[in-house]
Amino acid sequence: MSTSMLDVAGVLVSPDHYIDGERVPSEERFELFSPIDQRLLGQVAAGQPAHVEQAIAAAERAFPAWSAMSAAERLPYLDRFAEEIGRRADAFCTLESNDAGVLLSRMRHGVVPRAMLNIRWFAEHALGLQERPIDTQQAHHRVRHDPAGVVVIITPWNAPLMLSTWKLGPALAAGNTCILKPPEWAPLTCSLLADAAHAAGLPPGVFNVVQGIGATTGAQLVSDPRIARVSFTGSVPTARRIAQAAGANLVPCSLELGGKSPFIVLEDADIDAAAATGALMYRNAGQVCLAGTRFLVHERVAERFIAAMRTTVDGLCVGDPRGEATEVGPIIHPRQVERVLGFIDRAVAGGAQVLWGGQPHPFGAQYVQPTMLTGLSQDDEIVQNEVFGPVLTLQTFASDDEAVAMANGTDYGLGGVCYGDTAHAIAVADRVRTGFIWINSFGIRDLAAPFGGIKRSGIGREGGDWSFEFFCDVKDVVVPKKPFRPSFSHR
């Protein structure tokens, strides 16, 4: 057991792996810096082949006993897991704010309560998925949701706690054992999550955390033939590599990827409401896959909309995410800052006009002004590709048909927003090719509902029964109603 701990703003957290119920150190480590002010937070264990092997072996050993439990027997463990997350609420808030730059207020009031709910809700939902009868003329069918086996979960740096628990909840409730690979740019809340699981009494090997770099640690995990499922949220290029590695072993993957979602403002929209919602797209410094980043505004209301949204954006507080008044925090990493500013510079060089922002923010090295660009063509790079920063684009349209064509005119299809008269907005939204779309609203997420995208935005759905369909092997036990007499003539 390693005795070294990182002290992050008064919160002690282990930099080591968590395997088979114990902390496991590594001689190989990587440095971790805060996006707030680039200070060194410490050195974190980098997973080596031996650690990956150890974690898979531990998860395999734990699987028979954990999977043999009923959902009702697993429920108390997962309830305690949620309770232990709640007991560490302040620590989770401090760590993720310092490690990932997430707003402290958002962590306190949104993320931590949601993380607890992710564990509890799926544990309770699993109670109804034990067995489902189907009665036909020929036979009685007993449809079971059996645990798949050892699951690898890989989460991104923009929401490590929320997205880890979003996947762990159904995976563990279904009876799988799990290996979590945290994001290397923001791994600390995943490490603290292991402490919560340990305190909750989850049996050794049921939940493991192997930290490391995606190209090495992650690649070894997803290519191992003993893995039954891979659940990944992140970028399209990484997803392609994961799918290729897992595909060699025919391992199913759930891939929740990026977005370039439309924010449609129809002529009959409530302009002030649409503008206020539009400013929410800068939340988490725009590092949100489901944000509506392409504003498509009817030409007759574009001037009014721009003025209303500019007023709202001018009032946004950019700064230290630990401040209660802060509404826009830092970009996660210098490489991401370079990427975001590169998109802006190339767009402006190509003729785009800056409505507001467009520059680094004076608050600090990893801060970018909330930005809106216009004067763009549908095939422009910044219209077609995900920026993942506080950068939005605005185009106008003259008809519903034009708006729908523009909305559907990228390789992404994750989410969307549509503001207008409700019936009109629904009629337009029904024609937009996307995994989900909010009408006169944004960010409503119910655990019972499906979440996911189409095209380059991913494969599969998470939430409700859809999560269990992925994390389980669905088995049909068939009992004939009449004695079965085999015959070669039967087809």
Q: In what order do the strands lie in the sheet with 131-135?
A: 131-135, 139-147, 472-480
* Backbone phi and psi for residue 470, each to the nearest 5 degrees, phi listed first: -80, -45
Which residue in 256, 327, 386, 462 is the catalytic one?
A: 256
* Cβ contact 349:381 at 8 Å: no
The Cα 228–Cα 466 span in angstroms is 17
- For the question of residue 256 being annotated catalytic, the response is yes
Place of tokens 């559907």: 408
* Cβ contact 265:190 at 8 Å: no
- For the question of residue 253 being annotated catalytic, the response is no
Give the 3-state secondary structure of residue 36.
coil
Q: Is 25 exposed, middle or buried (0-12, 13-18, 19+ CB in 10 A)?
A: middle
Strand partners for 474: 145
Place of tokens 């090495």: 216
The Cα 74–Cα 78 span in angstroms is 7
Give me 59's structure tokens.
Answer: 């998860």
Q: State the DSSP string of 211-278.
A: ---IIIIIHHHHT-TTEEEEEEES-HHHHHHHHHHHHTTT--EEEE----EEEEE-TTS-HHHHHHHH
Which residue in 190, 289, 418, 472 is the catalytic one?
A: 289
* Active site members: 256, 289
